[in-house]
Homo-oligomer: A and B are copies of this chain.
Amino acid sequence: MVGRRKRRRRSARAGHPPREGSSFVTVRKVFQLDHYLKERAALVERALAQVIPEPAGSEARLLEAMRYSLLGGGKRLRPILALAACEAVGGAPQRAIGFACAVEMVHNYSLIHDDLPCMDNDDLRHGRPTNHRQYGEALATLSGDGLLTDAFKVLASSAGDGVPSAILLRTIADLAAAAGSSGMVGGQVIDLQSEGAPLSLDELKLLHAKKTGALFLTSIVGGARIGGGSEPQLVNLDQYGRALGLAFQVVDDLLDVEASTEQMGKRTGKDQAAGKATFPSLLGLDKSRQFAHQLERQAQEALGEFGANADPLRAIATFVVERKQ
């Protein structure tokens, strides 16, 4: 009884949905996670504002363009996951702040390059003109290049946060693998090639495991590694991360159908227009929604061995599936 009560109290406090729902607990949960996400996003924003210098000198325009994208909004989900995973294994979140910044910089570079005319040709991102619409293609390409490269500088320089060199090296290698030709870049190539040549469900899963899943996964596992996580903990968080990353993408596909451009701050309905395979196009809306919930359960189960430290990760898994933008 005590164990059960403790578990329930812990869940309500930090956002884990309790077994028996009540409207009171649901309201409380949403409020608490909202507060956590805001507080962590603010921590990340402050750190990000320091990694790119204030625009001045001969590169003023480049720095301005990099800051335009990096500081221009977004949920900061990947860096928050990095901090939350660090916490989940008992590490102080501040220890992973350099890594969190690096992950967000890599994410922002990928958005800038994906939006380019030669790629997805998007003109709206986070409710504002995309980088190349604002600064032109040359500067947008270079802003992406700068963010990607500087991310490794930030990460390699973060040994001062108390992270052992060997752990940091492994984290750099993993981030580069997640972002490079075998990860995110490879996924974007599959995505571009798949237009007009619809994929099977397995191919679609592979695409997303590379294009978006790999960076989610490395954010979580890297954050935990920096936090001093044990190998069994990293294995569990690897499972959590795989399920969460895929759930995120399934919901992204659903929102592309169901949400408005205003709500999302980016153009919606474009997958269908481009003839791209999506989870709704292959499974239908209902089964896609069910699949997302199934993935959330997998993510929650992977955290079974963790204590209250992992409550933020639990709450984020629910948030990722229930989000409306």
Interface residues of A (CB under 8 A from B): 52, 58-59, 61-63, 66, 113, 116, 118-119, 136-139, 141-142, 144-146, 148-153, 156-157, 159, 164-166, 168-170, 172-173, 175-177, 179-182, 185-186, 188-190, 192-193, 203, 206-207
Interface contact B185-A142, CB-CB below 8 Å: yes
A274 to chain B, nearest CB (A): 14
Q: How far in angstroms is the closest Cβ of chain B from A51?
A: 10
Q: Check B180 against A149 for contact (C-beta < 8 Å).
A: yes
Asked if A156 meets B176 with Cβ closer than 8 Å, knowing A169-B169, A185-B142, the reply is yes
Contact A169 B165 (CB under 8 A): yes
Determine whether the beta carbon of A145 is less than 8 Å from that of B148: yes
Residue of B nearest to A137 (CB): B118
Verify B153–A173 contact, CB threshold 8 A: yes
Measured in the bound complex, the distance between the Cα atoms of B157 and A169 in whole Å is 8
Kindly provide the distance from the CB of A250 to the nearest chain B CB, expressed in whole angstroms: 20
Shortest Cβ distance from A322 into chain B, in angstroms? 32
A152 contact set on B, CB distance < 8 A: 152, 172-173, 175-176
Q: Is the interface of A mostly helix, strand, loop or mixed?
A: helix
Residues of B near A166 (CB, < 8 A) are: 159, 165
Given contacts A118-B137, A152-B172, 19 further A-B contacts (CB under 8 A): A52-B181, A58-B193, A59-B190, A62-B189, A113-B142, A113-B145, A118-B136, A138-B192, A139-B189, A139-B192, A146-B186, A150-B181, A153-B176, A153-B177, A157-B173, A159-B166, A159-B169, A165-B166, A169-B169
